[in-house]
Amino acid sequence: MADSDTPTPKYKRVMLKISGEALMGDQGFGLHPPTVERIAQEVKSVHDLGVEICMVIGGGNVFRGLQGSAQGMERTTADYMGMLATVMNALAMQSALEGLGVFTRVISAITMNEVAEPYIRRRAVRHLEKKRVCIFAGGTGNPYFTTDTAAALRANEMACEAIFMGKNGVDGIYDKDPKQHADAKRYDKVTYDEVLQKNLKVMDASAIALARDNNLPIIVFSLDEPGGFRGILSGQGTSTTVHGS
Ligand code: UDP
């Protein structure tokens, strides 16, 4: 039973998307276990509210297909390497969450039965109902996509009520880069079409279109402050919501 200090979450089922870079800490590459654990704490504090949580973690801290292809690698092979990177990140997050006592499943779009469950939609829904955090790995399973699109796709399939984009160093969407322009203004709300027209850096365009077509709100917030995710879920703190017109 929730006590009076426990905030009431505004959502019952959500998707949390973080980039792979969110897991690398200050080291510039790979995984930084204390950072992974810190984010796992954020997830746990929302899980403790009874919210059903899906996660997609990128792979940019290890490998991005575009970087590989720019260096002469065949594009689809490079993209598969990027997808494999997301599996490692998902396993790291699983380990951190389970260390905190949160039950999880890593569900991969690329079959690898020894390390992760295959993606079966109904099974994933059942995990959520049983309050297991579902970490969707392997992106969409297709080259030429990104994990932003994977997050929008799985969020729709799992009937999530919103996608939460957890960012480092920024607490929403700005009209220009706030790190370079002191007068940059944060939007409280912005429409999908504005994001696309103004080319605001939120998610890639196919992910935005997928969210728009299903009217799925995207909430951009900062993962830097402890308790930030829980606060945003309860309607506190600063963020930007991308919504329909
Ligand atoms: N990727 C892919 N298909 C997908 C998802 C990801 O090919 O459905 C590859 C792509 O090469 C991408 C890499 O995996 O560059 C890592 O994902 P992403 O760049 O989205 O990671 P993030 O920027 O969020 O860390």
- Report if residue 219 sits inside a domain: no
Over residues 189-206, the mean pLDDT reads 94
According to the annotation, is 228 in a ligand binding site? Answer: no
Which of these, 35, 81, 93, 89, lies nearest to 61 by C-alpha position?
89
Do 195 and 242 touch, CB atoms closer than 8 A?
yes
Per-residue DSSP letter, 160: -
State the Cα–Cα distance between residues 237 and 54, nearest whole angstrom: 22
| 20 Cβ below 6 A of ligand 1 | yes
pLDDT mean across residues, the chain:
95
Whether 3 shows a pLDDT value over 60: the answer reads no
pTM of the predicted model, to two decimals?
0.96
Domain assignment present for 194 = no
**In which domain, by residue range, is 100 found?**
13-157+224-238
In a domain, 195, yes or no: no
**pLDDT(185) > 70:** yes
Average pLDDT of span 100-121: 98
Q: How many domains does the chain have?
A: 1
pLDDT at 2: 47
Residue 55: strand, helix, or coil: strand
For position 145, which CATH number holds? 3.40.1160.10
Give the count of alpha carbons within 13 A of 79, CB side only: 13
Name the pLDDT band for 6 (thresholds 50, 70, 90): confident
Instruction: Check if 147 has its Cβ closer than 6 Å to any atom of ligand 1.
Output: yes
| Tens-digit pLDDT profile for residues 142-151 | 999 999 999 9
How much is the pLDDT for 232?
95
Q: Is residue 7 part of a domain?
A: no
Give me the mean pLDDT over the 179-192 stretch. 96
